[in-house]
Amino acid sequence: MMKFTELLKDHTVYLDGGMGTLLQEAGLAAGELPERWNLTHAAAVQEIHRAYFDAGSHVVSTNTFGANSLKFSDAELEEIIARAVENVRAAARDSVGTQQKFVALDIGPTGRMLKPLGDLDFEDAVAVFAKTVRLGVKYGVDLILIETMSDSYETKAALLAAKEQSELPVLVSCAYGADGKLMTGATPAAMVAMLEGMGADAIGVNCSLGPRALRPVVEAYLRLASVPVLLKPNAGLPRVIDGKTAYDVSPADFADEVTEMLAMGVRLAGGCCGTTPRYIEALVKRSRDIKPQPITRKDITVVSSYTHAVTFGSAPVLIGERINPTGKKRFKEALRAGDMDYILKEGITQEEQGVHILDVNVGLPELDEPRMLTDAVCALQAVTALPLQIDTSDPVAMEQALRRYNGKAMINSVSGKKESMAAVFPLAKKYGGLVVALTLDEQGIPATAEARVEIARRILAEAKKYGIDKKDLIFDPLALTVSADPVAALETLRAVELIRRELGCHTSLGVSNVSFGLPLREVITASFFTLALGRGLSAAIMNPYAREMMQAYFAYRALSALDENCADYIAFAQSQPQLTATTTPSEPSGTTVSAASELQQAVIKGRLERAAALTKELLKTEDPLAIVGQEIIPALDRVGEGFEKKTVYLPQLLMSAEAAKAAFEQIKARLASGGAAQKCAFVLATVKGDIHDIGKNIVKLLLENYGFAVTDLGRDVAPEAVVEAVVRLHAPMAGLSALMTTTVPAMEETVRQLRAHAPWCKILVGGAVLTPEYANAIGADHYARDAMEAVRYAEEIDRALGA
Amino acid sequence: MESVYVKAYAAPPVDQREIWRYAGARNATAEQEALLQACLAELGEQAVFRVCYREFPLALEGDAVDLGFTKVTSPALARCLAGCGSAVVFAATVGTAIDRLITRYSAVSPARALLFDAIGTERVEALCDTFCRELATEKGSLGLCTRPRFSPGYGDLALSLQREIFGVLDCPRKIGLSLGQDLIMSPSKSVTAIVGIGNNL
């Protein structure tokens, strides 16, 4: 018998059509799980399968769309999958069709949303899919069809499980809305990049809409994909016709519309909701004479996030370099303190500056890098849609971060060293990724461009052995310091050009090195960047806060016909402060005294930038701690009192707190580390099972403003984790929040464990469902109605401790 | 009606007073106004407005309500549905974008996070209002009237009814709405509810 992959090579493959609608017609009740029908109504299920084989389907999928361990016990799941496979096999035997016949294990979404949007952990999702896949393999399916996926992260989990648990061909199909995106925002380009990178055998589109409405998405797949494209549309949309529900595309129209797309290049076709064996029969007949289009390589160098793809080619790609502790004292401090918000802020600020990709490097010798990098990647992809460049020399950290990354990452980096290639290429092959390849080897960095190109060739050859195509490598020919070697920049520029011209590969440079040791570094760096772009550089790892770099970038685009009507350049220019302006506040600054009351006003009004600028100004003449004690805290107190008296409302309280925080950042930057007098440690968490953390974050912000050393454990935190942090820090106070009645038991359990392991700790609780009486009943020390009350209580405890 | 229907709407008009109410403010300073405008501009067109629904025959017996797919005992719901022969069960969501923005700003600006949270609540309530108004018009043309919507978790109606509602509405597939283990919906700015349909008395 022909293998499925052989059939796919030069035939149009027909899949089956809808299942749910037909089961409902056969009597499946609302809310009843269709997968159980494999056991209870095997004949009815087989009959539907057989009708599809009779209609001409090569592949019929098992009735296992929702067969997973979240819905069924292990024993029942095994029985369902065993029987589901047998039902398709029996149908194949009974069918009169003479075509090749294959059984696909059908896998749909779990129905649960993955973290951070929902509560299902990524690895738990992988484990759920893995169970289903193992059973499918055990009972002998020929291939796997992952379909109707509406979230890129869950799709990754399913494909990863399929790849890890089987050698079978895997088809992956997603459900796109009328906006041409997945429910969680991914474009076709993002999905193609990720799924191809991970090695799906065919990818495509099903469900949601009729064939015609899906056409733009199908076209995007055909334009971008180097693997066969699959299409299983609905029979249009359900409409009520004469009091009965019917889909609005007829079998004949469906056949016409899908056949058009086969002619465009689609290679696997079937139907989804509302389609029946009649639709497939019509399609098979109608498209009989369509010649399968060859599958062509697209050679697109691309990375992706959960929403979009970034392609390397004509326009320069900016990779923000700021998430990196090298040479940054404040960043190192934040890393050691586990202050993720600091890292997130760097990410968001760089995004606002206009970078396209964020480099993520959190390596410090004394830290657990695999854990830190994975946490940083997960936290960043929850707050920014930019693709990430995972930057580490630790292969374990690299693998864990790549695994959790929601998209196709940029991998920084591999080199021409044998050991490096042996560590990095298997990861790139398994998880997908665009690998930054440094042109250095065991002998170091060659002086000449030609020798660097030679290393690049060797890297390309070695990558090929792992099945990594040259489009998935981007070379960094290494910018060296021009003040140390006058021809350093020239050789690098020549290497950029040679790699682009002779190898046809893209290049990326960490441009900042070039200016090391020179005054006005940014002038040199930006000029070098422009020269490199002129030689064909595709991307740069750079500092987006350096105005010269952004000027060079926008100017290059305007001069290279990459910026229509110079619109971006003009917008950039208008967003820049006037060159004559200084860092002093925009309003005329009077005496220090008036600047001080101005600072109070800025904090009270919640004017963030102004509060920061005024603080910076005041720091020239005033003692930092005096500014805190005499200006910022009194302003906060005034707002806090207003809030307690209900003359000030929550939004203003928060805006003031943020302005105060901006002022504090200036003060912190001035004070030597550890110089600020801090109040005691405070551990804060939203309890297990609860994901509502807005209230908790408000408490955190205010506590920080009032000088507490807050350790924020986040949301959905297990009791053990709270205890661990309180014991480790010997924190005198812990704050727990819960919004829902269902999570109050988790709060009670956390209190119980804290009492057992950290009897010294005062426990403050709050949240919508709590009352003072309830707080008392679960054994907490204090209930805080709002954030200000939490601050007052914490100050009281802190004073008592100090006394 | 056998099937679950899906409706997608354009963005309903924004009611800023409602947003301030959800944010816990009775009035807004100029700075707050500016911040809200910035938040609304950042949200732009990212929210979606999707509803899936299905109509079920209804049977009431005292406080027991037979919704056609499950039975619940709830005096409050029974009162709300009194006199109705059927009920439309619906789920509505404004999508993941607002959740993303709330998470993003929780890290760097709690004030913005608070406003996006309030915007999300206002948006999904506005979506429910739009859907229910449309339903009332549709049923009105058949000589029927609709009751106010009633959600699991209101009054004495158990939140666990969410499981059964998700079972019959196929929310993940229809509108991208899923239910977590702890009965929390994701996207969080979503609503499920029951609307009684009765004779126009």
Chain A's closest residue to B103, CA to CA, is A383
User: Are A453 and A489 found together in one domain?
Assistant: yes
Nearest residue, CB atoms, B186 vs list A113, A605, A606? A113
B59 to chain A, closest Cα gap in Å = 17
Q: How many other CB atoms are there within 10 angstroms of residue A42's CB atom?
A: 16
Q: Output the CA–CA distances (angstroms, integers) from residue A2 to A141, A171, A266, A420, A483, in the order listed.
A: 15, 18, 21, 40, 65
**What pLDDT shows up at residue A66?**
95
Q: How many other CB atoms are there within 10 angstroms of residue B68's CB atom?
A: 18
B134 to chain A, closest Cα gap in Å = 16
Q: Is the peptide bond before A477 cis (omega within 30 degrees of 0)?
A: no
Nearest residue, CB atoms, B2 vs list A24, A148, A341? A24
**What pLDDT shows up at residue A677?**
58
For A81, the token pair is: 């999958």
Nearest residue, CB atoms, A649 vs list B8, B24, B95? B24
Are A585 and A666 in contact by the 8 Å Cβ rule? The answer is: no
**Binary contact (B176, A112; C-beta < 8 A):** no
Q: Is A191 exposed, middle or buried (0-12, 13-18, 19+ CB in 10 A)?
A: buried
Chain A's closest residue to B36, CA to CA, is A651
**Binary contact (A383, B24; C-beta < 8 A):** no
Q: What values do phi and psi take at A436, rounded to 5?
A: -80, 120
Per-chain mean pLDDT for chain B? 93
**Binary contact (A651, B108; C-beta < 8 A):** no
Sign of CA dihedral A163, A110, A721, A348: positive
Chain A's closest residue to B8, CA to CA, is A178
By residue count, chain A amounts to 803
A302 to chain B, closest Cα gap in Å = 24
Q: Is the peptide bond before B187 cis (omega within 30 degrees of 0)?
A: yes
Write down the residue that tokens 């509803």 correspond to: B51
For A737, the token pair is: 């929040």
A368 to chain B, closest Cα gap in Å = 23
Give counts: helices (H), strands (E), chain B. 7, 10
**What pLDDT shows up at residue A581?**
41
Q: What values do phi and psi take at A666, rounded to 5?
A: -65, -45
Q: Output the CA–CA distances (angstroms, integers) from residue A286 to A9, A260, A279, A282, A803, in the order listed.
A: 21, 10, 10, 6, 88
**What pLDDT shows up at residue A623?**
84
Alpha helices (H) along A466-607: 488-498, 521-534, 547-559, 567-575, 592-605
| Residue A710 maps to a domain | yes
Nearest residue, CB atoms, A652 vs list B29, B102, B106? B29
User: Are A120 and A174 found together in one domain?
Assistant: yes
**Binary contact (A651, B115; C-beta < 8 A):** yes
Q: What CATH number should be reported for the domain whose range is B5-199?
A: 3.40.109.40
**What pLDDT shows up at residue A240?**
74
B contact residues 64-83, partner A, Cβ 8 Å cutoff: 68-70
User: Are A545 and A402 found together in one domain?
Assistant: yes
Counted domains in chain A: 4
Chain A's closest residue to B5, CA to CA, is A238
Structural domain boundaries of chain B? 5-199
A691 to chain B, closest Cα gap in Å = 9
State the count of interchain CB pairs (< 8 A) between A and B. 159
**Binary contact (B117, A743; C-beta < 8 A):** no
Q: Output the CA–CA distances (angstroms, integers) from residue A8 to A59, A100, A197, A294, A449, in the order listed.
A: 11, 11, 19, 11, 44
Mean pLDDT of B110-135: 96
Report the run of H or E that residue A719 belongs to, with start and end: helix A719-729
User: Are A564 and A689 found together in one domain?
Assistant: no
In DSSP terms, which residues pair with A317 in a beta bridge?
A: A539
Report the run of H or E that residue A737 belongs to, with start and end: strand A733-737
| Residue A335 maps to a domain | yes
Chain B partners within 8 Å of A658 (Cβ): 109-111
B contact residues 120-149, partner A, Cβ 8 Å cutoff: none
Chain B's closest residue to A607, CA to CA, is B31
A80 to chain B, closest Cα gap in Å = 19
B129 to chain A, closest Cα gap in Å = 23
**CA-based max dimension of chain A:** 95
Q: What values do phi and psi take at B146, rounded to 5?
A: -115, 150
CATH of the domain at A615: 1.10.1240.10
> Is B181 at the interface with chain A, CB within 8 A?
yes
Mention every residue, 6+ apart, whose C-beta is less than 8 A from residue B45.
Answer: B11
Are B68 and B176 in contact by the 8 Å Cβ rule? The answer is: no
- Helix/strand/coil for A376: helix
Q: How many other CB atoms are there within 10 angstroms of residue A503's CB atom?
A: 17
Write down the residue that tokens 């006005």 correspond to: A520
What ipTM did this prediction achieve?
0.89
Q: What values do phi and psi take at A59, rounded to 5?
A: -120, 125
Q: Which of A179, A348, A383, A699 has the most B C-beta neighbours within 10 Å, making it the best mutation to test the interface with B?
A: A383
User: Are A697 and A718 found together in one domain?
Assistant: yes
Query: Is the pTM of the predicted complex or chain greater than 0.80?
Result: yes
Are B48 and B93 in contact by the 8 Å Cβ rule? The answer is: yes
d(CA B51, CA B195) in angstroms, rounded, equals: 13
d(CA A398, CA A405) in angstroms, rounded, equals: 10
User: Are A164 and A270 found together in one domain?
Assistant: yes
Mention every residue, 6+ apart, whose C-beta is less than 8 A from residue A363.
Answer: A325, A369, A373, A392, A393, A394, A397
User: Are A373 and A456 found together in one domain?
Assistant: yes
**Binary contact (B111, A651; C-beta < 8 A):** yes
User: Are A707 and A750 found together in one domain?
Assistant: yes
User: Are A648 and A752 found together in one domain?
Assistant: no
Which structural domain, as residue segments, surrounds residue A661? 592-670
| Residue A315 maps to a domain | yes
Sign of CA dihedral A737, A741, A743, A747: positive
Q: Is A775 exposed, middle or buried (0-12, 13-18, 19+ CB in 10 A)?
A: buried
The segments of chain A whose pLDDT lies below 70 read 1, 243, 578-596, 672-677, 803
d(CA A66, CA A59) in angstroms, rounded, equals: 19
Chain B partners within 8 Å of A697 (Cβ): 106, 110, 113
Nearest residue, CB atoms, B114 vs list A109, A185, A651? A651
Nearest residue, CB atoms, A119 vs list B1, B166, B184? B184
Q: Final residue of a domain: which of A642, A670, A698?
A: A670
Q: Output the CA–CA distances (angstroms, integers) from residue A342 to A334, A654, A707, A759, in the order listed.
A: 6, 18, 17, 32
Of A66, A57, A170, A84, which is closest to residue A128 (Cα–Cα)? Answer: A66
DSSP-assigned letter for residue A444: B
Chain A's closest residue to B179, CA to CA, is A112
Of B14, B102, B12, which is closest to residue B51 (Cα–Cα)? Answer: B12
User: Are A357 and A248 found together in one domain?
Assistant: no
pLDDT tens string A722-768: 999 999 999 999 999 987 777 888 999 999 999 999 999 999 999 87
Chain A's closest residue to B70, CA to CA, is A31
CATH of the domain at A159: 3.20.20.330
Q: Output the CA–CA distances (angstroms, integers) from residue A69 to A4, A74, A115, A416, A455, in the order listed.
A: 28, 6, 18, 44, 49
For A521, the token pair is: 């570094």
d(CA B21, CA B118) in angstroms, rounded, equals: 8
Task: Report angle CA A186, B41, A663 to the nearest 5 degrees.
Answer: 105
d(CA A164, CA A698) in angstroms, rounded, equals: 43
**What pLDDT shows up at residue A585?**
44
**CA-based max dimension of chain B:** 55
Q: Final residue of a domain: which of A644, A670, A696?
A: A670
User: Are A637 and A555 found together in one domain?
Assistant: no
Q: Is the peptide bond before A413 cis (omega within 30 degrees of 0)?
A: yes
d(CA B171, CA B92) in angstroms, rounded, equals: 9
Chain B partners within 8 Å of A183 (Cβ): 95-96, 175-176
Chain B partners within 8 Å of A344 (Cβ): 107-108
**Binary contact (A655, B166; C-beta < 8 A):** no
- Helix/strand/coil for A727: helix
**Binary contact (B28, A651; C-beta < 8 A):** yes
Q: Which of B89, B142, B168, B186 has the most A C-beta neighbours within 10 Å, making it the best mutation to test the interface with A?
A: B186
**Binary contact (B104, A651; C-beta < 8 A):** no
User: Are A410 and A489 found together in one domain?
Assistant: yes
- Helix/strand/coil for A735: strand
